[in-house]
Amino acid sequence: MPGVTPYKTLRFEAGRIPEGLRREHRLKAGVRGELRVLEGSLVFVDEGGRRAMQAGDRQTIRPEAPHHLEDADDASVELTFFRER
């Protein structure tokens, strides 16, 4: 992502995605995220609607945009957080 610096990456294995990611939440101002599905499938929900995702798919998460995950029981994911410059 141009104009951003990565600062943290988290991985969650299937069956271990925290409840907080399954409830609506927002990233802080000035922080972007990238969700990458490593295995399995899930549904990413934000202001733009619902997006079915499977292994290999990526989703950018905008600062302060409400979002959450659904149907993620069999998914392994990686979340990388970026600070805007």
Contact 65, 32 (CB under 8 A): no
Please tell me the chain's helix, strand, coil percentages from 3-state DSSP, rounded to the nearest 5.
5, 55, 40
DSSP character at residue 65: -
pLDDT in tens, 21-55: 999 999 999 999 999 999 999 999 999 999 999 99
Q: How far is CA 83 from the centre of its chain?
A: 15
**Which H or E element spans position 20?**
helix 19-22
| pLDDT tens digits for range 60-76 | 999 999 999 999 999 99
Shortest CA distance to 61 belongs to which of 21, 31, 20?
Answer: 31
